[in-house]
């Protein structure tokens, strides 16, 4: 059983990221920013943008793994299907995972209320 995200659950094309950025809402938390856009067909999708400002390749990959795990564990809590773009910040590494979960759920709820 594969517990990761399938290709159908990931934003992969540039136009998908741009669509979320231009038409969605932005929620800022300390460890990450979430941009969300309502999706009318298909499953919820996740895209992660980890820039070099976050750190070296090891740090960027660790942040992406944390975000993907948060999405995987809580995608069933979404009230409707969404496209999400998450931009991790440096404080993601100092925040315990349980706090990241509560902040992520809170951000998803705020985003769904604003859409």
C-alpha dihedral sign at 19, 79, 93, 61: negative
- The Cα–Cα gap between 3 and 17 comes to 24
- 22-114 belongs to CATH 3.40.50.10310: no
**What is the C-alpha R_g of the chain?**
13
3-state secondary structure of 2: coil
pLDDT at position 43: 86
3-state secondary structure of 32: strand
CA dihedral 84, 88, 91, 92 (to 10 degrees): 70
Digit-coded pLDDT (tens) for 66-112: 999 999 998 888 878 889 999 999 999 999 999 999 999 999 999 88
Residue-range domain boundaries for the chain: 22-114
């Amino acid at each position: 059983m594969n517990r990761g995200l399938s290709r159908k659950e990931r934003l992969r094309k540039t136009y998908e990221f741009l669509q979320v950025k231009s038409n969605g809402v932005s929620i800022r938390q300390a460890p990450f920013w979430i941009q969300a856009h309502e999706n009318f067909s298909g499953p919820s999708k996740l895209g992660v943008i980890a820039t070099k400002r976050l750190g070296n390749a090891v740090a960027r990959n660790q942040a992406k793994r944390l975000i993907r795990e948060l999405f995987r564990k809580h995608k069933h809590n979404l009230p409707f299907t969404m496209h999400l773009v998450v931009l991790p910040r440096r404080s993601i590494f100092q925040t315990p995972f349980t706090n990241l979960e509560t902040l992520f759920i809170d951000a998803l709820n705020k985003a769904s209320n604003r859409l």
